[in-house]
Amino acid sequence: MGKPLNIVFLMADQWRWDTIFQAGHVCRTPNLLRFAEEGHAFLNAYTCYPLCTPARGSIFTGRWPYQNNLTDNVGRGSFYPHGKLRLDLKTYLERLRDDAGYEVSYCGKWHLGQGTLHERGIHNVRCSDGGDREHGSAARRGPNPTLDGEILQFYYGSYSEGIGLDQCRVEMGIEQIEGLAKGDKPFCAIISTNGPHFPHNIPRRFAEMYADLADDFMPENYCTPFTEPNKPDMQSRPYWPCQETRVLTQEQWRKTCQHYWGFCSHLDKQFGRVLDRLDELGLTHNTVVAFCPDHGEMLGGHGKFDKGPDFYQETMHIPMIIRDPQKRKPTKPDGFVNLRDLFPTLISLAGAEGILNDDECGRSHWVTEHEHTFYCYDSYQGREFKLRGIHTGRYKYNWSPHDLCELYDLASDPGERTNLIDDPAHTTSREELHAKLMAWMESEGDYLLCAGHLPPPGTYIDGRSVEERHDHGAQWPEVSS
């Protein structure tokens, strides 16, 4: 058996599917589109949990968030500032290093516990919350940018001089790859950006790329926030300062979208630099390369911003591209794939499948033939929200044991505006989807099948009511009643 292939994973945060793959979309991402032509674009890729930490825990362990006991964000500003992925759960990074002889590097956002990459013995870490200052991982370079135009807290701003954090990370990540390429071991290199997660503070030239939006522009699928009828109670209020979108004017929504798309274009250029450097180093023929985010962004859908306890397409549907240097084709190219199975896919393509168990080998996107996908939600910023869901292409069924359930026919209602859960004409579809979802939950040992009494959605784990607000160190915008 020959030397395993290298693995390079370009990970973004909060990147929408439509910015790359929706025909005619205003967002410009030429490098990622070229990458998609060279590799395989999974057009039915979905996150397993639309929240940073739980999704990332699943990426790096291959386990569902509730199996990791990591169902909420951790780190600075969160309800769990000292939370982390349990150190006794080995990530794929450690398994590649310990069991397959890989060198491992990490650059950028980790969000699975402060300093825990270092605690796991991974020291080739740069500009990351997962590293430690002793090994230089906290350092960044170049002049910090200073916002020099209009600023809307949480949402957007721009700068003309300086180097943004994500550009620094890409440059450092490229340097890590250059160093790894000089060795005789296969390597796995991760470059992880904060963007296009808000605040959308970007170089001014990228914001100006979308300055020609119509003056009356509003996001698709917009509606007055928190007013949609026949929706779960958990969707009736904001839970984080940036989610209080009732204060935004039409022009502020326009500029928010302008800067979000500019952020995507900025990162597209940065990721293009990585792809070009791989070509220059002669690594294209022996390196599996992947791009995807942890989840998407509402960006005005249903009047919402960021993400929250819901399963709307805007946050669930994600762009995923994988380039196999051996140009093998997936068994079902248009099948549904889930973020949880990304690393089993990359490891199998790299020829290091010996470190995987049989179940993991069978979860590679190259061999699965799924016609649906599942996902989950348990909590957000210390609040309880219990949700499980299944998406089949046409239908999406969201089940909650302590709130209104949802059923959407995406063929006739792609914006998910009309909840059909009590529509007699869809009884059969609802029952079939419910049975599939319950069977999946049982097969995965989901504790929620056996849950007894649950408090109202949004209740804090310490017993405080849904109406109270936790101080996260940010001021809430004032909203007139």
Backbone angles phi, psi at 469, to 5 degrees: -125, 135
Find out whether the peptide bond into 199 is cis, omega within 30 degrees of 0. yes
- The residue range of the domain holding 89 is 6-371
Structural domains counted in the chain = 1
Query: Measured between alpha carbons, how far is 342 from 362 in angstroms, rounded to an integer?
Result: 12
Residue 155 lies in a domain: yes
Residue in 344, 347, 372, 362 with CA at minimum distance from that of residue 44 = 372
Six-digit token pair at 269?
């250029």
Distance in Å from the first CA to the final CA of the chain: 69
Residue 122 contacts residue 106 (beta carbons within 8 Å): yes
Residue 315 lies in a domain: yes
User: For the whole prediction, is pTM greater than 0.85?
Assistant: yes
Q: Looking up tokens 């010996």, which residue turns up? A: 354
Backbone angles phi, psi at 176, to 5 degrees: -60, -45
Residue 461 lies in a domain: no
Helix (H) or strand (E) segment spanning residue 181: helix 165-181
Reported in sequence order, the residue ranges of 204-304 that DSSP labels E, i.e. its strands, are 287-293
481 residues of the chain, pLDDT tens digit each: 589 999 999 999 999 999 999 999 999 999 999 999 999 999 999 999 999 999 999 999 999 999 999 999 999 889 999 999 999 999 999 999 999 999 999 999 999 999 999 999 999 999 999 998 777 676 777 788 999 988 999 999 999 999 999 999 999 999 999 999 999 999 999 999 999 999 999 999 999 999 999 999 999 899 999 999 999 999 999 999 999 999 999 999 999 999 999 999 999 999 999 999 999 999 999 999 999 999 999 999 999 999 999 999 999 999 999 999 999 999 999 999 999 999 999 999 999 999 999 999 999 999 999 999 999 999 999 999 999 999 999 999 999 999 999 999 999 999 999 999 999 999 999 999 999 999 999 999 999 998 878 999 999 999 999 988 877 665 455 544 3
Handedness of CA 250, 251, 253, 257 (dihedral sign): positive
Six-digit token pair at 191?
């470059």
Residue 386 lies in a domain: no
Q: Are strands 337-338 and 45-46 parallel, antiparallel or unpaired?
A: parallel
Residue 333 lies in a domain: yes
Burial class (CB in 10 A: 0-12, 13-18, 19+), 143: exposed
Residue 435 lies in a domain: no
Residue in 102, 105, 117 with CA at minimum distance from that of residue 174 = 105
Instruction: Write the CATH number for 62.
Output: 3.40.720.10
Residue 146 lies in a domain: yes
Query: Measured between alpha carbons, how far is 353 from 361 in angstroms, rounded to an integer?
Result: 7
Residue 75 contacts residue 111 (beta carbons within 8 Å): yes
Which residues share a beta bridge with 292?
11
Residue 155 contacts residue 200 (beta carbons within 8 Å): yes
Query: Measured between alpha carbons, how far is 83 from 100 in angstroms, rounded to an integer?
Result: 29
Residue 278 lies in a domain: yes
